[in-house]
Amino acid sequence: MMRKLERSKYTSSSAASGCCKTLSRRSVIVQNIAEAERVGKKGKPVKDTASALPELMSKVRSVVGKSATSDLTARDLYNALAYSTRDGLIERFNKTHEHWAAKDSKFVYYLSAEFLMGRTLTNAVYNLGMEGKYAEALRSLGYDMETIQEQERDASLGNGGLGRLAACFLDSMANIDLPGWGYGIRYKYGMFKQALDKGGYQKELPDIWLTDGNPWEVKRSEIKYEVCFGGRTEKKTVNGKEVSVWEPNQRVYAQAYDNPIPGFQTPTVGNLRLWDALPVTEFDLAAFNAGDYDKSMLEKEKAECIVAVLYPNDATPEGKELRLKQQYFFVAASMQDVLTRFKAKHGSKWDLLPTKAVFQMNDTHPTIAVAEAMRLLVDVEGLPWEQAWSISSKMLNYTNHTVMPEALEKWPVKVMAKMLPRHMEIIEIINEGWIQWLQSNLPGTAAEKAAKVAAMSIVHENQWNKDELLVNMAYLAVVGSAHVNGVAAIHSDIVKNEIFNDFYKIFPNKFQNKTNGVTPRRWLAWCNPELATLITKTLGSDAWINNAELLSGLRKFASDKNFQSQWRAVKQQRKAKLAAMIKSQTGDDIDINNMFDIQVKRIHEYKRQYMNVLGIIWRYKQLKKMTPAERKASVPRVCMIGGKAASAYDMAKRIIRLVTAVGAKINNDPDTKDYLRLYFLPDYNVSLAEALIPAAELSQHISTGGTEASGTSNMKFQMNGCLIIGTWDGANIEIAEETGVENVFVFGVRAEEINQLRKERANYKTDPRFNEIMNDIAGGMFGDKEYFKPLVDSISNMKVGNDWFLVANDFAAYLDAQEEVDKVYKDPEEWTRRSIMYTAGSGKFSSDRTIREYAEDIWDIKPERPLA
Ligand code: 26V
C-alpha cells in the first residue's frame, strides 16, 4: 500500500515546530525580549532592518493575549506576526485609497466567483520588504519563517487555474499601481480538503479555513447592501410611464470584508472585497418567544447558506439554483457598491460612469451583471433604456476560460424567472433588441437569417429537451460587453473561429487575446529563494522581480559550465527539500539524483493524467524485463501526480485510484523501486505548488490539442527552470516559442486535427503497447479490476463516443517523446542548458505583462502610484 503524503507537519527547519511545541531555551529568549524592549523604549525607531521583536511582543500581548514570558507556540507567533504585518498593510492601503480617491482615478473591478489566494503571510512580508526584521526577531525566539508560515491555512476560494489567475491578477494590479479591486464571495468553506482513504480513494473533507480567525481581512461593518431574490414583478404606472416593479420575497445583506493586496517595491496596496451574507433580521424574537425555535433562526440560516460553499467548476454543471443565487449575490452587492461610490462623487452624471469604472467578468459566473447593470440604471436610477444600455455595454467586458461547450453556463428560463423575475424580463428585452438588430443587419435570405437568429439568440431551446428554454449566459455576456477575450493565442482563435464565430463575424473588433500570466513574486522570487538569489547575482540586480523580461539576460549564461553547475546545485537543494517532505510523510527514501517528474492540476479526462499513468505502467513493464545492468543504465524517475477530482466526477476519481494502485505496486517492487516511483500527492493547493514547482525537473502538460484554454502552472514550471513535455495546446505553444521549440518535448495531435480524428475513432487501430496495458489493467495487474473497468472501457473498445480525448491516438507519440526526455536527461549539461533557457524565456508570462495589456487594450486605465 502506498502511504499518503501530508505536508502539514513537515518542516525542514531544525527549530521547534508544530503549534503545540513551546519554546526551548526559554530563559535566553526572555532575555532577548527584555533587551529588545529596552532598546525599543529608548525610542529607537524600529526600521525595516532593525529587529521587530518589541513590535511582535506588543502583538503577543494585545492580540494573542499572552505575556512575553508565557510559553509561546508557533501559532501564537503566527498571529502576532500576521497582525503586525497587517498594521503595515492597512496603513499603506489607506494611503493608496485616499490617493486614488483624490485623483478620482478610473477603476477596474475584477468580478470573479473565485480567488485562489493561498497563504498571505510570506507574500505580504516579502512584498513589504520586512523579511529581514521579522526573520531576525523570530530567530531570537527560536523559530524561523518557514515554521511560522506553515501555521497559516490556504485561502482556497477557487477550484484551479481560473481562481489562481484572479489572485495573480490582483498581485500584478497592485504591483503596477493600477487602480482596481477584486470582487468576490467570502465562502465559509472553500475548496474541499482532499485526503486518501486506506484503499487509496479520494475522500473530501470540508475546508474550515475561517475557524481560527482570519488576520488578513478587515470587516467593514458600515458597508452592507441589500440583495433581493424571488417574488414577482408588477406593472405600474409611474409619472405616466409604465414600469415593472420587482417585489422580491427574500432579502439578505451583503457585508463587505476587505483583503489588502500589497505590491512589491511600491507603496500601493490594492484590495479584494469579499461579500459575506447576513440576514436582514438576525433573530426572530417573536418566533422564539412563541416557542418556534427553528423559525427564529431560519432567516439567518437561509442567508448563510448562500455563501456556505464553493461550487466545483469542472464537473458537468447541474442547474443548481443556489449557484445562481451566489452569482447574483456577489454581482448585485459589487455593482451597488461601485454605483454608490460613483453617485457620492458625480451625482447623476451617469454618462461619466464608463470613464470611471470598468468591469472584467471572469468567465460566465458573474455575467448576470449585464442584467443587473440595466436594472440599477433603469429601474433604480430612472435612466432611459437606450442610455443605460450605452453605459452598461461600454463598461462590461467578458473573458472566456474554456472551450468545453458544456461549461458555458445556461440557466433554465424557469429558474431565472423564479429567482430573479425582473432580470428575466430585462434579459428578454435585451434579447428582443438583439434579434431585431440581427434581422435588420444580417445578410442573406429570410430562411438563412432565421437560422442565424435562432443560433444566436440569448434565450434558446435546450437541445436535449425541446420543452425547456435556456438563457445562454455567454451569449448575454458577448452581446452586453465592450470586449471579449480568450486567455492564450490558440484559445482566442478558437473563441473567434468556433465558439463565438457568428458573433465574431458581426463584431470582429470586440474580440481580443490576452495570454495569461503568473506573478513572478510568488511563483519564483518567494517560492524559490535560492534560484532568485542566483538570478539576482548573475543579472547584477533584482529588477527582474518587477520586470520579468530581464530574465532573458540569463540566455547568455545557458551554456556556461560554471553557471550551469550553480543552477544544478539550486535544483538539487529544492529536490532535497521535497524528498525530505515525502520521507516525512511516507517513510520512503528518495534519491535526489533521480529525475523529478511532476503533473499537478485538477484531475480531468481532457488533461489526460490517465495517459501519464499508462506511460508509467509501460516504463515499469520495460524495467521488469531488463537485466540489473540494463536497469542501472536507465534513467531513474520519481513521478508525482497531484490534483483534486470534483466530488461528482466519477471518472476522475477512478483515475486517482489508478495512480495510487500503480504507485502501490511499483514503489514496493524490489526489482524496480530504485528506478521508478509513483506518488499521488494529496490535497494539491497553492502552498503545495510552491513546494513542488521549484523542485520539478520535468512537468507534464499533456491535454488533448485544442482543449486546455491556457494552463498557468506550465508558466510557473517554466519560470523555475523545469522542462516541459506537452502538447501543442493552450499557452504551451507560446511557452515553446519563447523557450525555443527545440527545447520542449512536444508531441501529439493538433487542435485542427481532432474533429476529424474523433470521427474516425471507431476504425482506429490502437498501438500494441496500449492494448497490452489495457489488458493488464483489465486483468487485475493493479487489483480493483471491477473498479477500473469503466476506465478501461472509456478509452478502449473503440466505439463512437469513446476516447473523446484521444488517449489511444496520442499514446505512441507520447512514449516516443518520453524516450527523448530520457535521452536528454542523460546529458546533464544539455538538460541544464535547456532548464536555463526556460527561465530565460519566461518573461512574457509575468501577469504584470498580462495586466498591462488589459489596462491598455480593454480597460483604458493608467497606473497611479500613491506617494510613499
Ligand atoms: C469547466 C467544465 C464544466 C463542464 C465539464 C467540463 C469542464 C471543463 C473545464 C471547466 C473549467 C472552466 C473554467 C476554467 O477553470 N478554465 C481554466 O482557466 C484557466 C485560466 O484562464 C486556464 O489556464 C485553464 O486552461 C482553464 O481550464
Question: Which residue has a Cα nearest atom 5 of ligand 1?
Answer: 316
Cβ atoms of 597 and 700 within 8 Å: the answer is yes
Query: Residue 165 CA: which ligand 1 atom is closest?
Result: 20
Question: Which residue has a Cα nearest atom 11 of ligand 1?
Answer: 314
Query: CB under 6 Å to ligand 1: residues?
Result: 160-162, 165, 313-314, 316-317, 363, 401-402, 404, 406-407, 487, 516, 708-712, 730
Residue 639 has pLDDT above 90, yes or no: yes
Half-sphere exposure of residue 117: CA atoms within 13 angstroms, side-chain side: 34
Cβ atoms of 183 and 109 within 8 Å: the answer is yes
Residue 798's pLDDT band, with cuts at 50, 70 and 90, is low
Residue 40 has pLDDT above 50, yes or no: no
Residue 46 has pLDDT above 60, yes or no: no
Residue 808 has pLDDT above 90, yes or no: yes
Centre of ligand 1 from the C-alpha of residue 123, in Å: 26
Match 526573520 to its residue by C-alpha cell: 135
Cβ atoms of 168 and 519 within 8 Å: the answer is yes
Question: Which residue has a Cα nearest atom 10 of ligand 1?
Answer: 314
Please choose, from the candidates 405, 407, 415, 406, the residue with its C-alpha nearest in 3D space to the C-alpha of residue 469.
415
Of 271-285, 359-373, 580-594, the least confident: 271-285
Average pLDDT over residues 835-853: 99
Helix axes 561-586, 529-539, angle to 10 degrees: 170
Centre of ligand 1 from the C-alpha of residue 408, in Å: 10
Rounded to the nearest integer, the mean pLDDT of the chain is 93
Question: Which residue has a Cα nearest atom 15 of ligand 1?
Answer: 162
Centre of ligand 1 from the C-alpha of residue 741, in Å: 26
**Number of CB atoms found within 10 A of residue 827's CB:** 11
Question: Is 436 exposed, middle or buried, given 0-12, 13-18 or 19+ CB atoms closer than 10 A?
Answer: exposed
Residue 29 has pLDDT above 60, yes or no: no
Question: Which residue has a Cα nearest atom 24 of ligand 1?
Answer: 711
Question: Torsions phi, psi of 465, nearest 5?
Answer: -150, 95
Residue 16 has pLDDT above 50, yes or no: no
Cβ atoms of 766 and 808 within 8 Å: the answer is yes
Which H helix or E strand runs over 243?
A: strand 241-247
Average pLDDT over residues 275-285: 88
Residue 107 has pLDDT above 90, yes or no: yes
Which of 110, 311, 314, when mutated, tests ligand 1's pocket best, judged by the most ligand atoms within 8 Å of its CB? 314
Going from the N-terminus, what domains does the chain have, and what CATH number goes with each?
Answer: 13-103+119-149 (no CATH), 520-854 (3.40.50.2000)
Query: Residue 363 CA: which ligand 1 atom is closest?
Result: 13
Question: Which residue has a Cα nearest atom 6 of ligand 1?
Answer: 314
Question: Which residue has a Cα nearest atom 18 of ligand 1?
Answer: 162
Residue 11 has pLDDT above 50, yes or no: no
Average pLDDT over residues 314-319: 72
Q: What is the largest CA-CA distance in the chain?
A: 94
Of 48-52, 137-141, 366-370, 523-527, the least confident: 48-52
260 backbone φψ class: left, alpha, beta (φ>0; ψ -120 to 50): beta
Query: Residue 604 CA: which ligand 1 atom is closest?
Result: 8
Question: Which residue has a Cα nearest atom 8 of ligand 1?
Answer: 314
Residue 5 has pLDDT above 80, yes or no: no
Residue 255 has pLDDT above 80, yes or no: yes
Average pLDDT over residues 813-842: 98
Query: Residue 606 CA: which ligand 1 atom is closest?
Result: 8
Query: Residue 406 CA: which ligand 1 atom is closest?
Result: 4
Provide the pLDDT for residue 51.
75
Map residue 328 onto helix, strand or coil. Answer: helix
Centre of ligand 1 from the C-alpha of residue 752, in Å: 20
Q: Amino acid identity of 592?
A: I
Question: Which residue has a Cα nearest atom 7 of ligand 1?
Answer: 314
User: For 220-251, what is each residue's pLDDT tens digit?
Assistant: 999 999 999 999 999 999 888 889 999 999 99
Cβ atoms of 484 and 478 within 8 Å: the answer is yes
Question: Torsions phi, psi of 460, nearest 5?
Answer: -145, 170
Average pLDDT over residues 361-372: 98
Query: Residue 161 CA: which ligand 1 atom is closest?
Result: 19
Centre of ligand 1 from the C-alpha of residue 72, in Å: 44
Which of 402, 605, 649, when mutated, tests ligand 1's pocket best, judged by the most ligand atoms within 8 Å of its CB? 402
User: For 735-748, what is each residue's pLDDT tens digit?
Assistant: 999 999 999 999 99
Distance between CA 721 and CA 698 in Å, rounded? 9
Centre of ligand 1 from the C-alpha of residue 827, in Å: 37
Provide the pLDDT for residue 27.
52
Distance between CA 465 and CA 840 in Å, rounded? 52
Select the more confidently predicted residue: 609 or 42: 609
User: For 481-535, what is each residue's pLDDT tens digit?
Assistant: 999 999 999 999 999 999 999 999 999 999 999 999 999 999 999 999 999 999 9
Question: Is 211 exposed, middle or buried, given 0-12, 13-18 or 19+ CB atoms closer than 10 A?
Answer: exposed
Residue 36 has pLDDT above 60, yes or no: no
Average pLDDT over residues 793-813: 88
Average pLDDT over residues 832-853: 98
Which H helix or E strand runs over 193?
A: strand 193-196
Centre of ligand 1 from the C-alpha of residue 161, in Å: 7
Predicted TM-score of the model (pTM): 0.94
Question: Which residue has a Cα nearest atom 12 of ligand 1?
Answer: 402
Residue 620 has pLDDT above 60, yes or no: yes
Q: Amino acid identity of 344?
A: A
Centre of ligand 1 from the C-alpha of residue 731, in Å: 14
Residue 799's pLDDT band, with cuts at 50, 70 and 90, is low
Residue 8's pLDDT band, with cuts at 50, 70 and 90, is very low
Centre of ligand 1 from the C-alpha of residue 138, in Å: 41
User: For 318-353, what is each residue's pLDDT tens digit?
Assistant: 778 999 999 999 999 999 999 999 999 999 999 999
Question: Which residue has a Cα nearest atom 9 of ligand 1?
Answer: 314
Centre of ligand 1 from the C-alpha of residue 178, in Å: 27
CA trace torsion 815, 818, 822, 828 (10° rounding): 170
Helix axes 609-625, 807-825, angle to 10 degrees: 60
User: For 540-554, what is each residue's pLDDT tens digit?
Assistant: 999 999 999 999 999
- Rounded percentage of the chain residues whose pLDDT exceeds 90: 87
| Residues annotated catalytic, as ranges | 401, 601-602, 607, 712, 716
Query: Residue 516 CA: which ligand 1 atom is closest?
Result: 21
Provide the pLDDT for residue 25.
40
User: For 443-478, what is each residue's pLDDT tens digit?
Assistant: 999 999 999 999 999 999 999 999 999 999 999 999
Query: Residue 164 CA: which ligand 1 atom is closest?
Result: 20
Query: Residue 708 CA: which ligand 1 atom is closest?
Result: 25
User: Per this entry, what is the length of the chain?
Assistant: 868
Which of 110, 115, 401, 713, when mutated, tests ligand 1's pocket best, judged by the most ligand atoms within 8 Å of its CB? 401
DSSP string, 646-671: -TT-HHHHHHHHHHHHHHHHHHT-TT
Centre of ligand 1 from the C-alpha of residue 652, in Å: 15
CA trace torsion 832, 834, 836, 837 (10° rounding): 170
Average pLDDT over residues 792-818: 90
